[in-house]
A = this chain, B = another copy of it.
Amino acid sequence: MRCFVTGGAGFIGSNLVDRLLAENHRVVAYDNFSTGQLSFLEQALKNPNFRLIRSNLHDFEVLKEVMQGSDFVFHLAANADVRGGINQPRKDLEVNTIGTFNVLEAMRQNKVPRIAFSSTGSIYGEPEVFPTPENAPFPIQTSLYGASKLAGEGLIEAFCEGFGIQSYIFRFVSILGERYTHGHVFDFYKKLRANPTEIEVLGNGKQRKSYMYIQDCLDAILTAIQHPQAQAQVNVFNLGTNEYCEVNNSLDWICAKLGLNPVRHYTGGERGWIGDSPFIFLDCSKIRALGWQPKLTIRESVEYTLDYLVAAQALLEK
């Protein structure tokens, strides 16, 4: 398969690139290196089946040209700074919504037939049903990030109906693991490295969150797109584990591994920031029905990610 991976130098994208190359697919990675890192592609760059394009989704002519001949687009490029929306309201629109439109329009013009998209559990806003299934009641958005992913999903679906594209929309919980470069484990470890005796926790620490290990996430994506029971025109899957934890639990595990016992200062409130969802727990029975299941628990993912960050100190200097 000739694969085109947007955001191919990022956390999820570069791991996907490695998996696809290992399965002997040809891979073009497209990344503007706004958060992607060349070091993540160190192995890939040695592979003759790999090609890297350094460009932006807004350079439509470039995007269109280099996408030619692709069989499958994995559209992972996104502004993933969920908390920052409030300070830069236009960024999610430009990078995520308009960026996704450009990917779809390049697919249409190049007749690329299939796309997988990294959506988010945040799209459910603050749901009333837990675990939250894919066909939950019509949600109300609570963040510009969620709104931009909702817009992306809608565009993909409309292109599927209008132009015969087939799509896989994956609504992720937060992903952890190797090459992880932002999120709560990153923030906590960075803070504790600077000051091991005290730590600030956003919100009341009781936010209940789901996390998933990157390789489990990629297993799920690769399972779904090849599965004979997932060949509808639009295939929507929640991706997560069958569990959740409190932010406080995760901090306990991190502190235990580091041998620290810092005083915790809570900023207070049920949410870590405006648009933060106090409880994310997705019903993943649909993807599990295809035979997939995660290999790591949330705790194992958190601990594994911490080990990775401890070993990859350079990432923390950003």
Q: Which A residues contact B (CB, under 8 angstroms)? A: 85-86, 89-90, 93, 97-98, 101, 104-105, 108, 125, 134-144, 146-148, 150-151, 153-155, 157-159, 161-163, 234, 236, 274-275
Q: Which residues of B contact A234 (CB under 8 A)?
A: 140
Q: Which residues of B contact A158 (CB under 8 A)?
A: 85, 141-144, 146-147, 275
Contact across chains for B139 and A161 when beta carbons are under 8 A apart:
no
In the complex, the count of this chain's copies comes to 2
Interface majority SS on A: helix, strand, loop or mixed? helix
A85–B154 Cα gap in the complex (Å)? 13
The 8 Å CB contact of A162, one of B148, B159, B274, is: B274
Contact across chains for A275 and B161 when beta carbons are under 8 A apart:
yes
The 8 Å CB contact of A135, one of B98, B138, B147, B151, is: B138
Q: Which residues of B contact A236 (CB under 8 A)?
A: 140
Q: Which residues of B contact A139 (CB under 8 A)?
A: 138
Most buried by B among A134, A157, A234: A157
Contact across chains for B141 and A157 when beta carbons are under 8 A apart:
yes
Contact across chains for B274 and A161 when beta carbons are under 8 A apart:
yes
Q: Which residues of B contact A275 (CB under 8 A)?
A: 158, 161-162
7 nearest A-B residue pairs (beta carbon): A151-B151, A147-B154, A141-B157, A135-B137, A147-B158, A141-B154, A150-B154
Q: Which residues of B contact A159 (CB under 8 A)?
A: 89, 144
A43–B48 Cα gap in the complex (Å)? 71
Contact across chains for B147 and A155 when beta carbons are under 8 A apart:
yes
A163–B275 Cα gap in the complex (Å)? 11
Q: Which residues of B contact A105 (CB under 8 A)?
A: 89-90
